[in-house]
Amino acid sequence: MEHYTSVVPGVTGRPIIYTEYGTGRAPRFTNQSYQLQKGRMIQIDGCYIVVDGLYFYDGIPANRNRHLTAREAGAIFVSLKAEHNIIKNCEIENCPMGIQVIGQHNLITHNYIHDCNIFLSYPSWGPVGIMVANSNNEISYNKIVNYFSKGGRFGADGGAIEIDDQKHARDNIYIHHNYSTGNEGFLEITTGASADNIQVSYNVSDDYQEFIFFWAGTNCIVENNTVLCLKPPNSRVRVVFSFEKENEVTVRNNIFVLAKGLQVFAGDSVYNADKWNQPHSNNVYFVVDGTQENPCGISLGRGDIIADPLFMDLENRDLHLRAGSPAIDAGVDVGRKLDFEDNLVPQGGKPDIGAFEFIKY
Ligand SMILES: [Ca+2]
Ligand SMILES: [Ca+2]
């Protein structure tokens, strides 16, 4: 632990930093005991704390102990009174709740959360990489891989990121530049309290079950994501989105590459969430074998394109655009400045569709 007296940009604080020093492996944390802080490995109750570069592994599920609910779990647990904290550069492996944030104004960035296939709470709640349950939090530049468990009530469950309801509003949440693959969905916003102004931009999702479940959400934006919905169905549901209300989620500048039979704004009605009529424009829609006539599912919006986005190498998941891609310079300027790899946007005069801006060398 190091006490450090410079001022954090943008806030007045003297952060306390928990980090590694010297060379070699990162410091390791685990906790197999409910009696010891409910299985949490680090709990943050204060403000202006930075957790940087630590390794957490082998967490315990919530349901093994009736007194612990999923809402109290987390290898890293940021409590209601904890604000202006930063969790970065950590690795979290096989923890059914990776990071749970109940406070506001926290930043979860550049973490690697991976490989958990046990239930958080059997039979209805699979493992979750990052859970946020309050307003004004930011989740960026994380890599989340292989968070799902098979079986249980839904056939499979879990997910990279969840915005959960604990009776607090969940407004102004910014989710960007995350890479998500092999999880049981990229993002799920549960029903309940207000979830206003959730912004999802410049992420890559290559996941099971869904890209985003909006069980709640008003005034939200989904833009410049590269979304692959190619993994086979493994649960009761296989959709790109669900929406709770019409005209609340603006979907623009995204690339959607779909398995045969899927459509972006259509599909199974999931618990009455099927309000497909959302503002949409400047997206590229494509079904890999080209069989689906309208992969959008409803009428195309302004600037929407049905075409092969021409990735460099889809099979090996090189999702950069090739010269000649219809996504190049076909996006609308939404004011974002950095693409998935922090290249300046726009290149070539206009923004591209998807998470990767084409760079001509
Ligand atoms: Ca989920
Ligand atoms: Ca461009």
Question: Amino acid identity, residue 333?
Answer: D
Query: 289 pLDDT band (50/70/90 cuts)?
Result: confident
Q: Which residues pair with 57 in a beta bridge?
A: 93
Task: Indicate whether 286 belongs to any domain.
Answer: no
Task: Indicate whether 298 belongs to any domain.
Answer: no
Ligand 2 centre distance from Cα of residue 13 (Å) = 39
Ligand 2 centre distance from Cα of residue 357 (Å) = 6
Task: Indicate whether 280 belongs to any domain.
Answer: no
Ligand 2 centre distance from Cα of residue 4 (Å) = 42
Ligand 1 centre distance from Cα of residue 159 (Å) = 4
Ligand nearest to the CA of 344: 2
Ligand nearest to the CA of 190: 1
Query: What integer best gives the mean pLDDT of the chain?
Result: 93
Ligand 2 centre distance from Cα of residue 156 (Å) = 39
State residue 350's pLDDT score. 97
Ligand 2 centre distance from Cα of residue 344 (Å) = 10
In this predicted structure, the answer to whether residue 68 has a pLDDT above a threshold of 80 is: no
State residue 66's pLDDT score. 65
Q: What is the pLDDT of residues 325-348, one digit of tens each?
A: 999 999 999 999 999 999 999 999
Task: Indicate whether 284 belongs to any domain.
Answer: no
Does 34 or 94 have the greater pLDDT score? 94
Q: What is the pLDDT of residues 218-255, one digit of tens each?
A: 999 999 999 999 999 999 999 999 999 999 999 999 99
Task: Indicate whether 127 belongs to any domain.
Answer: yes
Q: In sequence order, what are the residues at sequence separation of 6 or more whose Cβ sits closer than 8 angstroms to the Cβ of residue 18?
A: 1, 42, 49, 50, 51, 52, 54
Ligand nearest to the CA of 154: 1
Ligand nearest to the CA of 331: 2
Percent share of the chain, pLDDT over 90: 84
In this predicted structure, the answer to whether residue 74 has a pLDDT above a threshold of 80 is: yes
Q: What is the tally of structural domains in the chain?
A: 1
Ligand nearest to the CA of 130: 1
Mean pLDDT of 261-276: 88
Torsion angles phi and psi, residue 72, rounded to 5: -110, 0
Task: Indicate whether 168 belongs to any domain.
Answer: yes
Q: What is the pLDDT of residues 75-119, one digit of tens each?
A: 999 999 999 999 999 999 999 999 999 999 999 999 999 999 999
- CATH value at residue 209: 2.160.20
Task: Indicate whether 200 belongs to any domain.
Answer: yes
Ligand nearest to the CA of 330: 2
In this predicted structure, the answer to whether residue 38 has a pLDDT above a threshold of 70 is: yes
- Predicted TM-score of the model (pTM): 0.95
Task: Indicate whether 330 belongs to any domain.
Answer: no
Ligand 2 centre distance from Cα of residue 306 (Å) = 19
> Domain range holding 178?
2-238
Ligand nearest to the CA of 208: 1
